[in-house]
Amino acid sequence: MRTLPLPRQRLLNASLAAAFGTVITFWGMSASAQTAAQPDAANAGTGAALPSVTVNADTEENGHVNGYLARRSTAGSKTDIPIIETPQSLSVITADRFQAIGATRLRDALGYTPGVNIAPFGSDSRYDWIAVRGFDAYSPGFYEDGLPLRNANSFSVWKTENYGAERIEVLRGPASVLYGLSSPGGVVNVVSKLPTATPIRELQVQVGTNNHRQVAGDFSGALDADGKVLYRLTGVLRDAQLPAGKMADDRTYLAPSLTWRITNDTSLTLYAQVMRNRAGVYTRNRPWAGSLVPSAIGTFIPAKLFQGNPYFDHFNQDQELFGYNFEHRFNDTVTFRQSARAGRLKVDYRGLQAPNFTTVNPDNEFDPVNFQNLSRTLFGSRESVRAFAMDNQVQADVRSGDWKHKILVGVDYQHNNFETNSYSGGSAPDLNIANPYYFNGPFEIPDPYEVNATRLTQTGVYLQDQIKWRDTLQLTLGGRYDTAKSSVFSRLDGTSTTVSDHKFTGRAGLVYLAPNGWAPYLSYSESFQPTGVVDPVTKEPFKPESGRQYEVGLRYQPPGTKNSFSAAIFDLRRKNYISYDTEFQPKQTGEISVRGLELEATTQPTDRMNLTASYSYTPRAIVTSSARPEEIGKQANAVARNQLSAWGDYRFANGIKVGLGVRYTGPTRGNGGGSPIRVPGVTLLDAMVGYDFEHWSLALNVRNLTNKTYIANCDTPSQSCYYGDQRKVLATATYRW
């Protein structure tokens, strides 16, 4: 599996910050001029009687939010605080928001989030490839409910289900003080649906492109008269096909949970998630000669060509998660929390790869017969994962005069066992690009090149103090010490490699909370990630790679409104990563620097209208040190200089609703230091039209409205390019009672 090479970055012009300050001041003054409390005209017509979920203030940090604006979150501190007090960039995409844009996958839900690339490898049915601030977030893994969904750079990547999520949180920048080993770009955390005291009764039916048919249900409420025992049951059953090859894209998902409010101070939540995926394999990678640029004779490979084989390809994945959340408040000062989860995952993957054209006439490289067929090889992997993670926290809220302390002490632990059995090679009939024929076997499976057992453990101890003075200044200080151990045993040759690491990471941030809703902040944060690689010269393990970031930001939430604006300038650096010289020998000399500006706005100009907008400006993402001198000073990864998105929707009094979104990604140099190619920018449109009446909500969503054919990215080492998603139409009917 290819891992997204990590970027490098540089500081931004102060003039951009000043310009944005002027814009946001005018925008904020305009927004605050609106009346704070207006009658809910949206519910006045015949079309707006849908029941809604009521949100209590004490659960908003991780529960459902009505609308698009979340004001509280635990993602940036592991404590319940307003987002405006978090000294780091944090975006929360609520369920209402990603349902409105018709997002059925995690990456689709993040398409309007600043600093996020949702298609570093184009359209791919296997995973949600996501990069944050130029660095991959899918490896070492996403988070769910604050606990890691770890992977080991293999194909066993945990999947998440959007219908089972209350919100998706993106904490941008290093976050190892809170989460241990992690990407320097940031953390993506999915918050699951859990029991609510407010009754929820919902059934949903979807039909759409590629024979997409899905039924889903969500039910919650109290099991007893006192409301001490709460339940929730969420489920999805999908029968669909992939965009090519008439291959399946089926899913079964079931997520029961139970909360027992033992006393007013003690609660226990048990939950499970079971997911079964039966699918083919759909990727849209092509040789860049014939996709990004013409072949040597001026021809192109048809963009809609399916290069796999429906008789061979499949990607089947089964996963189960079982966990609990426990909380006990000893008094008004001290609270103890414990979260734990065990999981297992199995993947059976195989597919045909088409790396390049088949040379039929080596004597004449311009002979058209050399550009008619794609050579193909077999690839497959069977993998399994057993995982366990636990996080223990003690929080003390202390007050002394004008000073308030929110002290957090924690110990977390994770243990992961990975088994992989992978093969690559063999042969399959070439694929004619003009008249494809899909061979029905038999296929000769090659011997495995890797049969490994990998074990990863990590233990971390962390301390954080959020110090607030007179409710106007908040200083956050945090530190963490981690020990990590990874071992790899080869079942092919009996060799084993063990690497032990330890690392201290720190964090500091200062926020000024002005009474008029302004909150400027500055922060410093660090990350680390073990390399798992041994120096072939010294025979000693390389030290962990690290990340560090300086960030200056500004948030504005006009009092009495449902509006939020934010801006951040950051200087992010990834250090000590492994780069390989011309003889493919590992050297711990890699360094990448990324510097950029991010703007984000979530507004509700009227009770009937929602607007969101984001802009990312990344002028430089470069390699500053490498084992290959030719890479130094060159772009490290597919980081666009400019990225812009906006979504707006409006609901009329009669229940009709409409929405329109635009997503722009500027040109890049693709993946790989010193890439000679240029990937063009692209502008995509999304749209929604719907109707709410009585207990019903109907919606028709279209992603990539104009069905634009575009290349999302290219990769220099493999000389491959990746086409983006085609148009997707989805009709949804939801009934609540």
The predicted pLDDT at position 12 comes to: 34
Positive or negative CA dihedral for 45, 46, 52, 54? positive
For residue 452, how far is the Cα from the chain centroid? 27
Domain membership flag for residue 590: no
Domain membership flag for residue 591: no
Strands 72-73 and 81-82: antiparallel
Task: Look at the chain and report how many structural domains it folds into.
Answer: 1
For residue 479, how far is the Cα from the chain centroid? 25
- In 10 A of CB 537, how many CB atoms? 9
Which helix H or strand E contains 99, and what residues bound it? helix 95-100
Domain membership flag for residue 518: yes
Q: Which of 38-47, 268-277, 572-581 has the highest mean pLDDT?
A: 268-277
Q: Which two tokens stand for residue 200?
A: 């929820």
* Least confident stretch, 282-286, 513-517, 560-564, 716-720: 716-720
The predicted pLDDT at position 674 comes to: 59
Tell me the average pLDDT across 473-497. Answer: 94
Residue with the larger pLDDT of the pair 577 and 684 = 684
Number of H helices, E strands in the chain: 4, 35
Residue with the larger pLDDT of the pair 630 and 732 = 732
Residue with the larger pLDDT of the pair 372 and 8 = 372
CA dihedral 131, 90, 141, 409 (to 10 degrees): 150
Tell me the average pLDDT across 282-301. Answer: 88
Instruction: Count the residues in the chain.
Output: 737
Q: Which of 26-40, 400-414, 441-455 has the highest mean pLDDT?
A: 400-414
Q: Is pLDDT at 1 greater than 60 in this prediction?
A: no
Query: Could you tell me the pTM of the whole model?
Result: 0.89
Residue 162 near residue 109, CB atoms below 8 Å: yes
- What is the pLDDT confidence band of residue 20, given thresholds at 50, 70 and 90? very low
Q: Is pLDDT at 724 greater than 70 in this prediction?
A: yes
Q: What is the mean pLDDT of the chain?
A: 88
pLDDT tens figures, 63-106: 788 999 999 999 999 999 999 999 999 999 999 999 999 999 99
HSE of 37, CA atoms in CB hemisphere, 13 A: 0
Domain membership flag for residue 8: no
Query: Which residues constitute the domain of residue 491?
Result: 14-444+457-582+601-626+635-736
Q: Which CA distances in Å does 133 have to 520, 643, 725?
A: 21, 11, 22
- What is the pLDDT confidence band of residue 197, given thresholds at 50, 70 and 90? very high
The predicted pLDDT at position 5 comes to: 38
The angle formed by the CA atoms of residues 723, 708 and 730, to the nearest 5 degrees, is 95
374, 478, 482: which is closest to 431 by C-alpha? 374
The predicted pLDDT at position 426 comes to: 81
Rounded Cα distance, 164 and 234, in Å: 6
Q: Which two tokens stand for residue 721?
A: 């390019």
pLDDT tens figures, 609-659: 999 999 999 998 888 887 777 777 777 777 899 999 999 999 999 999 999
Q: Which two tokens stand for residue 11?
A: 């500081």
- In 10 A of CB 165, how many CB atoms? 22
Q: Which CA distances in Å does 307 have to 126, 404, 515?
A: 15, 61, 59
Residue 211 near residue 238, CB atoms below 8 Å: no
The predicted pLDDT at position 673 comes to: 60
Residue with the larger pLDDT of the pair 632 and 211 = 211
pLDDT tens figures, 332-363: 999 999 999 999 999 999 999 877 899 899 99
pLDDT tens figures, 26-75: 333 333 333 333 333 333 333 444 444 443 434 666 778 899 999 999 99
DSSP string spanning 15-83?
HHHHHHHHHHHHHHHHHHTS-SS---GGGTSTT---------GGGTTTS--SSS---EESTTTSS-EEG
Q: What percent of the chain has pLDDT over 90?
A: 69
Domain membership flag for residue 68: yes
Q: Is pLDDT at 491 greater than 80 in this prediction?
A: yes
637 Cβ contact partners less than 8 Å away, ≥ 6 residues apart: 4, 5, 6, 7, 120, 131, 134, 135, 592, 621, 671
Q: Is pLDDT at 17 greater than 70 in this prediction?
A: no
Domain membership flag for residue 82: yes
The predicted pLDDT at position 624 comes to: 83
Tell me the average pLDDT across 420-432. Answer: 90
252 Cβ contact partners less than 8 Å away, ≥ 6 residues apart: 236, 237, 238, 274, 275, 276
Does residue 370 sit in helix, strand or coil? Answer: helix
Residue 594 near residue 134, CB atoms below 8 Å: yes
Domain membership flag for residue 125: yes
Tell me the CATH number at 26: 2.40.170.20
Q: Is pLDDT at 306 greater than 60 in this prediction?
A: yes
Does residue 465 sit in helix, strand or coil? Answer: strand
335, 340, 268, 280: which is closest to 309 by C-alpha? 280
The predicted pLDDT at position 623 comes to: 83
Q: Is pLDDT at 7 greater than 90 in this prediction?
A: no
* Least confident stretch, 437-451, 514-528, 569-583: 569-583
Domain membership flag for residue 5: no
